[in-house]
Amino acid sequence: MEKVLIVRYGEISLKGLNRPYFENKLVKNIKNVVRKLGKLNVYKLHGRIYIDLEDYDIDEVIDTVTKVFGVVSVSVAYIFDADIDKICDVALEHIKECIEEDGVKTFKVETKRANKNFPLKSPEVSRKVGAYILKNTDNLTVDVHNPDVIVNIEVRDKAYVYSRKIEGFGGMPYGTGGKAMLLLSGGIDSPVAGWLVAKRGVIIEAVHYHSYPFTSDRAKEKVIELARILSQYCGKIRLHSINILNIQKAINEKCPADEMTILSRRFMMAIAEKIAIKRKCSALITGESIGQVASQTLDSLLVTNSAVKLPVFRPLIAMDKIDIVSLSKKIDTYETSILPYEDCCTVFLPDRPVTKPKLEKIIKSEQLLDVEELINDAIRNVEVIEVEIEF
């Protein structure tokens, strides 16, 4: 029996005249990611997307497709020529599988008849199929209010039978929302922040700061691995790896010790902005969240923010750590984020960082440095790594 994956999308159907653009982009993105599994047939039909499953590993296809932004849910359906006897047989076969796999005891049949030429109306189909299932099974009853399983029947040009719906992440098709530069550390927060913005269709590039040789190669590999996990959703991520050791040394030499973190934050923002503009990104993204650490008080955020002109997106700003952690587990970055390799910020960490920095005072300290020269130097030595999902 032939099987097909029904792929549903939500919000893009609201897009009016632009709808075909969003739909086609979604189809293209799905085709792109399933390419690694084989030559699957992906097509758009009656406001949904279908993928012929043939002999492909269904779990693998589901796992891949539910990671595509814009996908709200998927279902594995039997597909066949619409004929009431056949519908009864397939529905019965399907529910027997449900009994075997999930031990279901109650069910309900729901029918959608889009093909008005089909001789039976929806309620008649449901009734007929329900009766047929009851007659040919033991210990199974109908429960219309709270059934263990709903057998969905759709009568279109073809007939479809399915029950389980597996949720995707929703959002907008990747690549329909412009481009932004993510400040990607090795921590828990920034990968989640990047993922959330990417989910809105925004293409992500990333910049990472290290203090090699004070920080290790493994710290760098960890960030590449995080970018690789994100690329499962985004297809490809261009990662700019930048050494800021000289900047940190200069700050350490010339500026008050308790301003180390906030000053290097301003440099991080300024460098990211410069690369962002060159790469045609229209915003920066950070994983900051109010009050999480000294450099994320409102006073500190004001000071870091004023180092740049581009808008800075902080999708985690009002989220609790516990919720960020649970999201990072859901998107698979958590296990990598908690690997213990040191971040560049710990290299010259002050004992007591300022929590209420004053912008004028920080700018005064900054004037002790040749900011432009330091920034240009750091950017000159950028290492660009293209991280892609493997085919």
Q: Which stretch binds Mg ion (CB under 5 A): 91-99, 184-192, 217-225, 227-235?
A: 184-192
Instruction: Return the residue of 295, 305, 333, 336 that touches ligand ATP, per CB under 6 A.
Output: 295
Q: Describe the crossing of helices 321-330 and 189-198 by its angle, rounded to 10 degrees.
A: 70
Rule CB under 6 A: is residue 268 a binding residue for ligand ATP? Answer: yes
195 Cβ partners below 8 Å, 6+ apart?
A: 230, 233, 327, 331, 333
Residue ranges of E strands in 63-128 = 71-81, 106-113
For the CA atoms of 50, 52, 53, 59, the dihedral, rounded to the nearest 10 degrees, stands at -20
Rounded-to-integer distance, Cα 71 and Cα 67, Å: 8
CB of 282 to ligand ATP, least distance (A): 17
Indicate which single residue of 152, 185, 264, 328 sits in contact with Mg ion (rule: CB under 5 A). Answer: 185
State which residue has the least CB distance to ligand ATP: 187
Residue whose CB is less far from ligand ATP, 58 or 349: 349
Residue 358 CB, shortest distance to ligand ATP, in Å, is 19
Q: How far is the CB of 186 from Mg ion (least distance, A)?
A: 7
In angstroms, give the least distance from the CB of 183 to ligand ATP. Answer: 3
The answer to whether residue 23 forms part of the interface with ligand ATP (CB under 6 A) is no
Residues that contact Mg ion, how many (by CB under 5 A)? 2
> Nearer to Mg ion by C-beta: 185 or 296?
185
Supply 238's token pair.
């261009």
The binder of ligand ATP chosen from 29, 64, 111, 286 (CB under 6 A): 286
Which partner from the list ligand ATP, Mg ion, none does 293 bind, CB cut-off 5 to 8 Å by kind?
Answer: ligand ATP
Q: Which is nearer to Mg ion, 113 or 240 (CB)?
A: 240
Distance CA 178, CA 205 (A): 11
Q: Name the residue whose CB lies closest to Mg ion.
A: 187
Cα torsion at 217, 222, 226, 229 (round to 10°)? 100
Rule CB under 5 A: say whether 187 interacts with Mg ion: yes
Distances 327 to 69, 112, 144, 189, 191 between C-alpha atoms, Å: 15, 35, 34, 10, 10
CA atoms of 322 and 334, how far apart (whole Å): 12
Distance between CA atoms of 215 and 342, rounded to whole angstroms?
Answer: 6
Tell me the window of 82-90, 109-117, 154-162, 340-348 that interacts with ligand ATP (CB under 6 A): 340-348
Q: Which is nearer to ligand ATP, 65 or 272 (CB)?
A: 272
CB atoms within 10 A of CB 141: 11
Handedness of CA 362, 364, 368, 370 (dihedral sign): positive
Q: Which residues contact 270 (CB under 8 A, 6 or more apart)?
A: 307, 308, 371, 375
Is 345 one of the binding residues for ligand ATP (CB under 6 A)?
yes
Which stretches of the chain bind ligand ATP, using CB under 6 A? 183-185, 187-190, 208-209, 268, 286-288, 292-293, 295-296, 343-345
Which stretches of the chain bind Mg ion, using CB under 5 A? 185, 187
